Amino acid sequence: MRRREFLIVPVASLGGTLLYTLAGEPFRLQSQTLGKDGTVKVPLRFFTAQEARVVAAACERIFPNDDAGPGATEAGVVIFIDRQLAGPYGRDKYRYTKGPWVQSVPEHGYQAKESPQEIYRRGIQDLGDFASLPVDEQDKKLKAIERTRFFQLLRTHTIEGMFCDPMHGGNVGLIGWQLVGHPGPRMSYRDEIDKHFGQSWRPKPASLEQITGRPGKPWEDEG
Amino acid sequence: MTNLKPVDVAIIGGGWTGLLMAKELTAKTSQSVAVFERGVARKTEDYAATMDELDYNIRLRMMQNIAEETITHRHSLKDSAVPVRQYGSFLPGTGVGGAGEHWGGASFRFLPDLFTLRTHLIEKHGAAKLPADLAVQDWGVTYDELEPLYWKSEQLMGISGKAGNLRGTKIDGGNVFEGPRQQEYPTPPLKRSYASGMFEEAVHKLGYHPYPTPAANLSEAYKNPDGITRPGCAYCGHCQRYGCMIGAKAQPTNTLMPLLAKRTNFQLRTGSWVRRIVHKDGRAIGIQFTGANGEEFFQPAATVVLASFTLNNTRLLALSKIGTLYDPVARKGTLGRNLTHQVGVSTRVFFEKPLNAFMGAGELGARISDFDGDIGFTGAEEGLLRLGMIALSSSGDSPIGSFGSMPRGASKSNWGSEWKKTSLKWKDHSAGIGMSGEHLSYRQNYMDLDPTYTDKFGDPLLRFTLDWTDHEFKQREFAVQIQAKIAREMGARFDEGPPARAPYNVINYQSTHIQGGAMMGSSPDNSVVNRYLQHWNVPNLFVIGASAFPQNAAQNPTLTAMALTLFASEAMISRYFKHPEQLI
């Protein structure tokens, strides 16, 4: 059994006061989940606290908080990635993993044995003291690994964590959907599809749980 | 191995074709029918909870578990194949309804000349002008024979659309290039989106003939001839890779299962992984399958219908040692021949104004058939024999998948602040003009069993030997010119330039239209099954689905696979069960 690791997140940095599934089930931030200093302890499933800090810092450079709006930190992207890696996806439960493992032409896609868990663990290690570097140093480091499988996963997962349904741990407070004007999985646009032509129509975002009235069953929670 | 009580008909696969066959046989005969499906049961009420892009559109939660079985691929005989380790170019379904649960709903008829393509091309160009490796063949069945069965399939699903050729009369607003239809579509076309309306207007100005994509997404509430009522589409944008949460998109679970569930001569066995068709002295005697908990069963059956996906139809015949595997060097054998996929190319277009593209339906869109088949271009002197349809579809943009769509070169990096701002600027301002083209069959593109890689049971995987030829590159190059012309007329910015002449890749999604392997034809020398989809060597075995197509059409295969299933079922009901021998 691994030691329980937590990510300490300042609440002010997260999207809103309504946090989704951060402790395994949806809850409203209560005073007891808050630290005295306005922080919340999020239990980690895969990363160590140190690893989570490195990944959070890297995701923030990929999708930064800037004058165009919030970024990976506010959306809780690192929490999303932690859960993905701990789940069946991270363990390659749904990938064909029988040998022999051979390198092939690029048209055959990723053919190596390393799972997402293994790729992250090694990739994070190679980033060393990343979290404590100034941002221009961080960008240089990421630029240098741009073509690696690790960076490609990190970039893809950052976008996923920004805009996924909040039951997966990212898009906290629907901050990503607000940023791009996505309404979430609404049940009907029957009366809207042929209206608003040429004009931006942005209904208020709602999560799957808000729409169906039931908690979702994210795949990463499967054993 | 547990021996089960015999059934009259064992059907392998619980998707569109298997369940449609079961529906016909249980309604019109007293045969006891059992359907064996690997996956789980599914129903409409489950689907609202699956409207989640990450798990369903990206992680592909409804698809076959690729860890248990995949295919291997190589480009040519010289190469060694490697497994497709994660899904990309196509997505096999599983569970009750199969890929018919998470399809988009495009429901076309094929062009009449496709069914006699070899004859047609020889008449038009002369045999000498055709590529030496071309393997296209006549089907042994004609459009006119299938027309009433196309209509039955359209009624079953309530296809929305607009006829363009009603008994020979051309009708503006429909597809004037289609084969003659006896009836108008069961339901009117879906609504237009902003983007599809702009496309329609532009192609009309260019002198082309736009028509709405015929779709299994109902445009209004509809009661089919079986008494099944389904509601009109809600344009929620969750069709492809999702099941429909209201049953507006025709799926086997909402059109066939409600009827079958009431029939006493029908049973459905989920979690049943069929491993072999057992045969003796030229007749099938039943099937061997592994249950969900690993137990082995033998199911005796008087007739076996193999109705799984194209991949498994071929593979199961090969594993069961039924028929002779194709040898591309000696050009002998028929099993595995004529593997085809779909030829596609898309031009990304960018608009000034937002599209509200999160709204949509699987096959909401407009298209033209002015370059379909060999309409609208001169032909063999440029080496271009057949092309396809050009369309703009509004199937519903999802927030992860559509993020970062921007004109080529608009951002120096693909991460960081500049990229984020540019992505946000172009968010909801882009659409694709796509081409869906015929993929001709060639002697060198085929399926057999892989010598190295195995499935979870240790059985050999299916191996694809498949690559694009010069013809497919020419199809794409021609299509992007037309797409550019349309984009210009739409006043849209677009990424110009010819597509790369790149080898086939298993990474980028192209379509789940895989055809061939157990093709139909006029004789046992050139095909695996006869025109009734009855196996030439094993008269009590029928192999149904797109595996029977000798080449692919530009059009999506489902409606034709269904029409062929009905054609086979009619022959079985009227003749075969009375005398279960070769129908030809």
Model confidence at A34, pLDDT cuts 50, 70, 90, reads low
Domain interval for residue B554: 1-43+92-161+246-342+441-460+512-584
Q: What is the mean pLDDT of residues A23-51?
A: 67
The model's pLDDT over A133-171, given as tens digits with 9 standing for 90+, comes to: 999 999 999 999 999 999 999 999 999 999 999 999 999
The model's pLDDT over B108-153, given as tens digits with 9 standing for 90+, comes to: 999 999 999 999 999 999 999 999 999 999 999 999 999 999 999 9
Interface touch B400/A163, C-beta < 8 Å: yes
Q: Which residues of B are annotated as catalytic? A: 513
Model confidence at A67, pLDDT cuts 50, 70, 90, reads very high
Distance CA B84, CA B86 (A): 6
Distance CA B472, CA B85 (A): 26
Interface touch B53/A98, C-beta < 8 Å: no
Cβ contacts (< 8 Å) between A186 and chain B: which residues? 236
Q: Which three-class secondary structure state does DSSP give residue B533?
A: coil
Other CB atoms closer than 10 Å to residue B458's CB: what's the count?
7
User: Could you tell me the CA-to-CA distances from A101 to A111, B81, B82 in Å, in that order?
Assistant: 7, 12, 9
* Cβ atoms of residues B193 and B213 within 8 Å: no
CB–CB contacts below 8 A, A to B: 176
Same domain, B489 and B404: yes
Q: What is the structure's pLDDT at B88?
A: 96
Same domain, B328 and B403: no
Same domain, B128 and B266: yes
Q: What is the structure's pLDDT at A2?
A: 65
Q: What is the mean pLDDT of residues B327-350?
A: 97
- Asked whether residue A34 is assigned to any structural domain, the reply reads yes
- Asked whether residue B223 is assigned to any structural domain, the reply reads no
In Å, how far is A4's CA from the nearest CA of chain B?
Answer: 27
Model confidence at A35, pLDDT cuts 50, 70, 90, reads low
Q: What is the structure's pLDDT at B377?
A: 84
Substitution target in A94, A97, A174 with the highest count of B β-carbons within 10 Å is A94
* Cβ atoms of residues B265 and B26 within 8 Å: yes
Q: What is the mean pLDDT of residues B505-528?
A: 96
Domain interval for residue A37: 5-95+110-221
- Asked whether residue A105 is assigned to any structural domain, the reply reads no
Instruction: Calculate what percentage of chain B has a pLDDT beyond 90.
Output: 98
Nearest to A63 among B82, B420, B506 (CB): B420
- Asked whether residue B24 is assigned to any structural domain, the reply reads yes
- Average pLDDT for chain B: 97
Q: What is the structure's pLDDT at B427?
A: 97
Given a cut of 60, whether residue A33 has pLDDT beyond it is no
Q: Which three-class secondary structure state does DSSP give residue B558?
A: helix
Q: What is the structure's pLDDT at B381?
A: 62
Looking at the complex, does the CB of residue A169 fall below 8 Å from at least one CB of chain B?
A: no
Interface touch A192/B452, C-beta < 8 Å: no
The model's pLDDT over B249-305, given as tens digits with 9 standing for 90+, comes to: 999 999 999 999 999 999 999 999 999 999 999 999 999 999 999 999 999 999 999
The model's pLDDT over A205-217, given as tens digits with 9 standing for 90+, comes to: 999 999 999 999 9
Given a cut of 50, whether residue A30 has pLDDT beyond it is no
Q: What is the structure's pLDDT at A10?
A: 66
Given a cut of 60, whether residue A126 has pLDDT beyond it is yes
Contacts of B409 (CB under 8 A, 6+ apart): none
- Asked whether residue A202 is assigned to any structural domain, the reply reads yes
- Asked whether residue B541 is assigned to any structural domain, the reply reads yes
Long-range contacts of A21-27 (CB under 8 A, 24+ apart): A21/A166, A21/A167, A21/A168, A21/A169, A21/A218, A22/A76, A22/A79, A22/A169, A22/A172, A25/A215, A26/A167, A26/A209, A26/A215
- Asked whether residue B174 is assigned to any structural domain, the reply reads yes
**DSSP state at residue B249:** B
Same domain, B494 and B455: no
Q: What is the structure's pLDDT at B496?
A: 86
Q: What is the mean pLDDT of residues A5-19?
A: 61
Number of domains in chain B: 2
Distance CA B356, CA A186 (A): 13
Element (H, E) at A53: helix A49-62
The model's pLDDT over B170-195, given as tens digits with 9 standing for 90+, comes to: 999 999 999 999 999 999 999 999 99
In Å, how far is A69's CA from the nearest CA of chain B?
Answer: 9
Given a cut of 60, whether residue A16 has pLDDT beyond it is no
Model confidence at A11, pLDDT cuts 50, 70, 90, reads low
Q: What is the mean pLDDT of residues B292-319?
A: 97
Model confidence at B238, pLDDT cuts 50, 70, 90, reads very high
Same domain, B37 and B147: yes
- Average pLDDT for chain A: 89
The model's pLDDT over B208-220, given as tens digits with 9 standing for 90+, comes to: 999 999 999 999 9
- Asked whether residue A102 is assigned to any structural domain, the reply reads no
The model's pLDDT over B451-502, given as tens digits with 9 standing for 90+, comes to: 999 999 999 999 999 999 999 999 999 999 999 999 999 999 999 888 889 9
ipTM above threshold 0.90: yes
Same domain, B351 and B338: no
Interface touch B415/A104, C-beta < 8 Å: no
Same domain, B318 and B418: no
* Cβ atoms of residues B207 and B175 within 8 Å: no
Same domain, B451 and B487: no
Interface touch B73/A196, C-beta < 8 Å: no
Nearest to A98 among B58, B404, B453 (CB): B453
- Asked whether residue A49 is assigned to any structural domain, the reply reads yes
Q: What is the structure's pLDDT at B382?
A: 81
Same domain, B152 and B196: no
Instruction: Compute the 3-state secondary structure of chain B and give helix, strand, coil in percent, each to the nearest 5.
Output: 25, 25, 50
- Asked whether residue A205 is assigned to any structural domain, the reply reads yes
Q: What is the structure's pLDDT at A41?
A: 79
Q: What is the CATH number of the domain that holds B14?
A: 3.50.50.60
- Asked whether residue B233 is assigned to any structural domain, the reply reads no
- Asked whether residue B403 is assigned to any structural domain, the reply reads yes
Cβ contacts (< 8 Å) between A176 and chain B: which residues? 399
Substitution target in A107, A148, A199 with the highest count of B β-carbons within 10 Å is A107
Same domain, B261 and B143: yes
Rounded (5°) CA angle B184-B185-B187: 125
Q: What is the mean pLDDT of residues B191-206?
A: 97
Q: What is the structure's pLDDT at A25?
A: 38
Same domain, B422 and B525: no
- Asked whether residue B376 is assigned to any structural domain, the reply reads yes
Model confidence at A1, pLDDT cuts 50, 70, 90, reads low
Q: What is the structure's pLDDT at A21?
A: 39
Number of domains in chain A: 1
Interface touch B428/A212, C-beta < 8 Å: no
- Asked whether residue A31 is assigned to any structural domain, the reply reads yes
In Å, how far is B398's CA from the nearest CA of chain A?
Answer: 8
- Asked whether residue A101 is assigned to any structural domain, the reply reads no
Same domain, B570 and B451: yes
